[in-house]
Amino acid sequence: MSVLAIYGGEKTCATVWPTWPIWDDRERDGLMAVLESGKWWYGEQVKAFEAAYAAFQGARFGVTASSGTTALEASLLALGIGAGDEVIVPPYSFVATASAVLRVNAIPIFADIQPHTLCIDPDDVARKITPRTRAILPVHLAGYVADMDRLNEIARAHTLFVVEDACHSWGSQWKGKGTGALGACGVFSFQASKNITSAEGGIMLTDDEELAEQCRSFTNVGRRKGGAWYQHFLLGSNLRMTEFQAALLLAQLSRLEAHTLKRQANAEILNDGLRDIPGIITIENDPRMTRRGYHLFCFRLDLNLLGVTRERFLEALTAEGVPCMPGYSTPLYKMPLFQRAYQGADGCPVTCPYYAGDPVAYTQVNCPVCEQVCQDTCWLFHTVLLAGEDDMRGIVAAVRKVVEHIQDLR
């Protein structure tokens, strides 16, 4: 009988896992060309990347920004969302999904997620709608596309905007159309950990030209097309991307399709291998999601069956040579930001005089599925999915070994 690596046994995976970012002469040439041109500021490279990335996702317009966070804020501002408004968000996400709403002086209202997709639950969204709701902000978590059919249907029935937080979903498609313009608009991040990166950066995509122009204005100090240089029409900020970032992103984009297909094929090997292991709950892809750009490969643990904590399980799996992590472990509403806001410590917008609802009691919010998922979900980073097929089989073997020896971990 084998011994777990955590107790000195032989580790299952000897793989040297791919590191990130991946780059070659394409990035070097692009950066050098910008450097030598002397044109470093918000010009042709930015324009070319906006057009190329919008086309890649199948959207008409792209407006770059300094980050995914600021692109979310600019999108909400461009839609006219602000004081007195509520925006429905999932609590299983990066803080920016909800903080962007607060930053425009609106109120984030949390709706639970689905256990089988880890994305926002349309039924709970429907329950959370009030006369003050202006938008739904789903996250395509780990590249899994939230149920856009149901969300758009709910939005239509209540005249709401759908703003996609697509910051994990480069390359994902719903019924053949890319994420980002499945609702009113969508936002992507190009921060260092992301599947296509310029260290920092973001973009908002939309099919609505007027909305794109409005968003551009918020990212470009309130300037407007046709306006004079020192003419500022609205309260924008400087959220512009540089030519260096855009040149990097154009080079990165040239690899995105091949990387997306490879990650998807490897994720299938993982899901096929993990599906029948007792105590492992796989996340199965919705057939309407015609392509999935994996930012993360997620699976859940049946903690009752296994009888150990996720942290103990991950410790053993790491020792077997699998780079794995717990991911989001706290629902956003439990972050000090929200818990303190409820006590009125931060004033507006939670105690905003324009807000007609009762102050939101974030200390009382409970999304039971999210709470459970925060305890039992395991993540593999997207670079793992760029290794070989045998390495995927190695991961499956490592998980199987840990499960078969689970009594040794109790």
Ligand X SMILES: Cc1ncc(COP(=O)(O)O)c(C=O)c1O
Interface segment toward ligand X; rule CB under 6 A; list 81-89, 94-102, 118-126, 364-372: 94-102
97 binds ligand X, rule: CB under 6 A: yes
69 binds ligand X, rule: CB under 6 A: yes
- Of all residues in the shown chain, the one whose CB is closest to ligand X is 68
Q: Which is nearer to ligand X, 94 or 161 (CB)?
A: 94
- Asked if 79 and 135 touch (Cβ cutoff 8 Å), the reply is yes
Q: Note the Cα 172 to chain centre separation in Å.
A: 11
242 binds ligand X, rule: CB under 6 A: no
189 binds ligand X, rule: CB under 6 A: yes
Under rule CB under 6 A, how many of the chain's residues touch ligand X?
Answer: 14
Q: Which is nearer to ligand X, 295 or 401 (CB)?
A: 295
Interface segment toward ligand X; rule CB under 6 A; list 91-99, 242-250, 347-355, 375-383: 91-99
Kindly report each contact of residues 16-21 with a partner whose C-beta sits within 8 Å and lies 24 or more positions away, as own/partner. Answer: 17/323, 17/383, 17/384, 17/387, 17/391, 18/383, 18/384, 18/386, 18/387, 19/383, 20/192, 20/193, 20/197, 20/381, 20/382, 20/383, 21/192, 21/197, 21/252
Interface segment toward ligand X; rule CB under 6 A; list 88-96, 214-222, 324-332, 401-409: 88-96
237 binds ligand X, rule: CB under 6 A: no
Q: Distance (Å, rounded) from C-alpha 191 to C-alpha 166?
A: 13
CB of 188 to ligand X, least distance (A): 8
8-state DSSP, 141: G
8-state DSSP, 307: -
Q: Which of residues 126-155 bind ligand X (CB under 6 A)?
A: 139
96 binds ligand X, rule: CB under 6 A: yes
Q: Which is nearer to ligand X, 12 or 97 (CB)?
A: 97
Residue 268 CB neighbour total at 10 angstroms: 13
117 binds ligand X, rule: CB under 6 A: no
Member of 12, 45, 64, 67 binding ligand X (CB under 6 A): 67
Q: Which is nearer to ligand X, 313 or 333 (CB)?
A: 333
Q: Which of residues 155-184 bind ligand X (CB under 6 A)?
A: 165, 167-168
Binding mask 193-212 for ligand X (x = CB under 6 A): ---------x----------
392 binds ligand X, rule: CB under 6 A: no
94 binds ligand X, rule: CB under 6 A: yes
Q: Which is nearer to ligand X, 192 or 261 (CB)?
A: 192
CB of 153 to ligand X, least distance (A): 23
Q: Distance (Å, rounded) from C-alpha 43 to C-alpha 383?
A: 31
Phi then psi for 124, rounded to 5 degrees? -70, -35
8-state DSSP, 238: B
Residue for token pair 């962007």? 100
Quote the tokens at residue 24: 């070659």
Question: Where do the DSSP E strands lie in 52-141?
Answer: 61-65, 86-89, 107-110, 133-136
Q: Which is nearer to ligand X, 6 or 148 (CB)?
A: 148
251 binds ligand X, rule: CB under 6 A: no
Q: Which is nearer to ligand X, 93 or 282 (CB)?
A: 93
Environment class of 52 (CB within 10 Å of its CB; exposed 0-12, middle 13-18, buried 19+): middle
Q: Distance (Å, rounded) from C-alpha 245 to C-alpha 108?
A: 31
Q: Residues interacting with ligand X, by CB under 6 A?
A: 67-69, 93-94, 96-97, 139, 165, 167-168, 189, 191, 202
